[in-house]
Amino acid sequence: MSCEQAYFNGWGECARLMEKMNGGSLQHKGVTWTDTTAVDSTTWRGLIAALTEAARTVLMTPINGFDNTTDDVEIVTSQLGKKSVTSKPIPSGVIYLDASICDYKQLHALEDTWFEFVPFYQDGTYWMTRKSDGNLKGFRCKIATKAGLPPEDKSQSFPMYLMFDNYAEFENVVVVKPDFTFNDLLDYSAVGLDIRITTAYAAGDVVVKITKRGSGDGLTGLAVADFEVLKSNAEPTVAVTVVTDDGLGQYTLTIKKDNDGTPANLASGEYAIIQASDDDATYVTYLSHSVKVTA
């Protein structure tokens, strides 16, 4: 810590207490904004509901409540009775998601990954921080979730713990006031789908069941382009090459490796992580969690 020359400045015409948080946005590490794109709903929608997983870098997080868990500043008293602040803790908090257990269980895999978090407030504003290059970003953090029995207070059913990384980012808060609301952005989010394997991979095929999250209704009408291979240990290119829809939400998928050469079935121990979606040709409208298909 170093001392800098301080210069007094004026006071604003408005003196207003901080608002309560009413939502958040979890963003991939490194996502940045300009002053223009930060208030552009089309830019937000493109990052929330892009057609490919690599381009979907923003997850809107609806909440039921928020607790500020930041430790108090550390104050010590000298032998002469003088007090000094010796440590300013990095902020932390916990948000309670307005979700279901079907949504929450898919978030456990996000633990210990760095994200940028943008808090939204009841007055319609949200906070970002200014980088040295002039761009805006969220607040760097890791998250944690908790599996287990429900709490006594049902509104705290699905906690997401926010452990921020940098005190200085909060010293440089930028209050952004857009024309849209948090709910406008939340509505851009895709409807959740559940996907599970009903018949294991064999001879190039695997059977999966895809249902709308919450209702359990089968989603029909998906085609080859609606199944994306997110990751595979097989080489070279792995792809879903044929999709057969039984009309009730159950699909037989043919998954091949070396799709750009001579297609072959996955060998024993090889896998493909796939994700199903549906779209309106511009934005994704339905989106499943990922599922690992292993030969």
The per-residue pLDDT for range 78-102, each reduced to its tens digit, is 999 999 988 899 999 999 999 999 9
- Cβ pair 233, 266 in contact under 8 A: no
Q: How many CB atoms lie within 10 A of CB 246?
A: 12
Question: What is the reported pLDDT for 6?
Answer: 86
Map residue 170 onto helix, strand or coil. Answer: helix
The reported pLDDT for the residue numbered 1 is 54
Task: Give 16's pLDDT tier (boundaries 50, 70, 90).
Answer: confident
pLDDT band of 292, cuts 50, 70, 90 = very high
Sequence length of the chain is 295
Instruction: Classify 230 in phi/psi space as left (phi over 0), alpha (psi -120 to 50) or beta.
Output: alpha
SS3 content of the chain, % helix, strand, coil (to 5): 15, 45, 40
143 to 126, 214, 259, 274: CA distances (angstroms): 19, 25, 37, 24
pLDDT at 222: 97
Over 60: is that where the pLDDT of 41 sits? yes
Dist. CA 206–CA 295, nearest whole Å:
9
Q: How far apart (Å, rounded) are the C-alpha atoms in residues 227 and 240?
A: 7
How far CA 214 is from CA of 165, 192, 245, 284, in Å, comes to: 35, 8, 21, 18
Q: What average pLDDT does this structure show over 50-62?
A: 97
Is pLDDT at 3 greater than 80 in this prediction?
A: no
> What is the overall mean pLDDT for the chain?
95
Task: Give me the torsion for CA of 147, 231, 25, 195, rounded to 10°.
Answer: -60
pLDDT bin (cut points 50, 70, 90) of residue 2 is low
Say whether pLDDT at 58 is over 60: yes
* Percentage of residues in the chain having pLDDT higher than 70: 99
Q: Would you say 200 and 206 are in contact if contact means Cβ atoms under 8 Å apart?
A: yes
pLDDT for 260 equals 83
The total of other beta-carbon atoms located within 10 Å of residue 247's CB is: 8
Residues linked to residue 255 through DSSP beta bridges, in sequence order:
240
